[in-house]
Amino acid sequence: MIVNVSEAKAQLSKLIDMVYHGEEVVIAKNNLPLVDLVIHKPKGKRKLGILAGKFIVPDDFIDADEDIESMFYETPS
């Protein structure tokens, strides 16, 4: 089923229900197909710790940098 944007705005709930029940819905603008309305498919669970052992945080990570401090806190001459 192809619907124009203005019709899709007015009937969004109905179109979502149609897609949920297996129908194909294409939204068009000026009768040119733009997007397909599809059911959301989760990408899966996030995998935590994939960089474990591959990245080392330097010991001085939170130490202040003198050059940057001077740019922000020195008074102009």
Walk along the chain (77 residues) and give the pLDDT tens digit of each residue: 999 999 999 999 999 999 999 999 999 999 899 999 999 998 888 888 888 888 888 888 889 888 888 888 876 66
Output the pLDDT for position 28.
96
Instruction: Tell me the C-alpha to C-alpha distance, in Å, between residue 73 and each of 61, 62, 70.
Output: 20, 18, 5
Q: Where are the domains of the chain?
A: 2-37
Annotate 8-75 with three-state secondary structure: HHHCHHHHHHHHHCCCCEEEEECCEEEEEECCCCCCCCCCCCCCCCCCCCCCCCCCCCHHHHHHHHCC
In the prediction, which pLDDT does 77 show?
A: 61
